[in-house]
Amino acid sequence: EVQLVESGGGLVQPGGSLRLSCEASGFTFNFYGMNWVRQAPGKGLEWISYISSGGTTIYYADSVKGRFTISRDNVRNSVYLQMNSLRVEDTAMYFCARELDYEAYWGQGTLVTVSS
Amino acid sequence: DIQMTQSPSSLSASVGDRVTITCQASQDIISYLNWYQQKLGKAPKLLIYGASSLETGVPSRFSGSGSGTDFTFTISSLQPEDIATYYCQQYRALPATFGGGTKVDIK
């Protein structure tokens, strides 16, 4: 069974940092690109970052470029999102998602709250 | 980036009604389109991929059609358990982009 389990969310002050993790199981992790998608309270889905299966291709949304860094460890079957210089508007549920194509699969999310 | 315009943003229908949601892409995405269902507090669930292919285990009352820039998602007979927000998402090009969502509830 495919599983994606996010962790690392929490309450952080503006300007602070968090590192999100997503551990995968039930599929050959190093065959798939991975994404982070977020959803602010009561809002729609916003794609924020992608990393290819081998980690060589990376994309970011303009809203997080220069502040967030995506990475992966194909030995630990995990993808990470390092979030720096956090802003109030980064408050959201953060989902990791396997390849947003015909094989899309999403984790349950981890909540990040940025507030003083 | 490819923009996805979804409508309506919300709708209310009776049990048994046919429900239709549309999604328009800002450029040709061929058939590289997913439809998701998201229930309150849950992760999105893939219902339709390739614009019209039903994901395994998804009830047949859900269907999708279209190609190019114009797409349609249909629930043939709305059930109480279908209360959710539905999103389209293109995967023709990175970054993947989403429609704004359609909130469906029961009248």
**CB contacts, 8 Å: A52 with chain B:** none
Q: Which are the contacts of B42, defined by CB distance < 8 A and separation ≥ 6?
A: A108
* pLDDT tier, B36 (very low <50, low <70, confident <90, very high otherwise): very high
Measure in Å the smallest separation between the Cα of B46 and chain A Cα atoms. 7
What are the pLDDT tens digits along chain A (116 aa)?
Answer: 999 999 999 999 999 999 999 999 999 999 999 999 999 999 999 999 999 999 999 999 999 999 999 999 999 999 999 999 999 999 999 999 999 898 899 999 999 999 99
Chain B 17-76, residues with CB within 8 Å of chain A CB atoms: 32, 34, 36, 38, 42-46, 49-50, 53
* DSSP per-residue codes, A5-56: EEE--EEE-TT--EEEEEEEESS-GGGS-EEEEEE-TT--EEEEEEE-TTS-
**CA distances in angstroms from A1 to A24, A28, B39, listed in the order given:** 10, 12, 21
Query: From the list B43, B87, B97, which residue is nearest A95 (CB)?
Result: B43
Contact A95 B44 (CB under 8 A): yes
Around A116, how many Cα atoms within 13 Å sit in the side-chain half-sphere?
3
Best to test chain A binding among B7, B45, B89 (most A CBs inside 10 Å) = B89
Query: From the list A45, A59, A100, which residue is nearest B91 (CB)?
Result: A100
Q: Which are the contacts of A32, defined by CB distance < 8 A and separation ≥ 6?
A: A53, A98, A99, A103
**CB contacts, 8 Å: B45 with chain A:** 106
Contact A102 B53 (CB under 8 A): yes
Contact A61 B95 (CB under 8 A): yes
- Confirm if A111 and A11 have CB atoms less than 8 A apart: no
Instruction: Answer whether the bond into residue B8 is a cis peptide, omega within 30°.
Output: yes
Q: Record the tokens describing residue A61, joined without a space.
A: 């949304």
* pLDDT tier, B2 (very low <50, low <70, confident <90, very high otherwise): very high
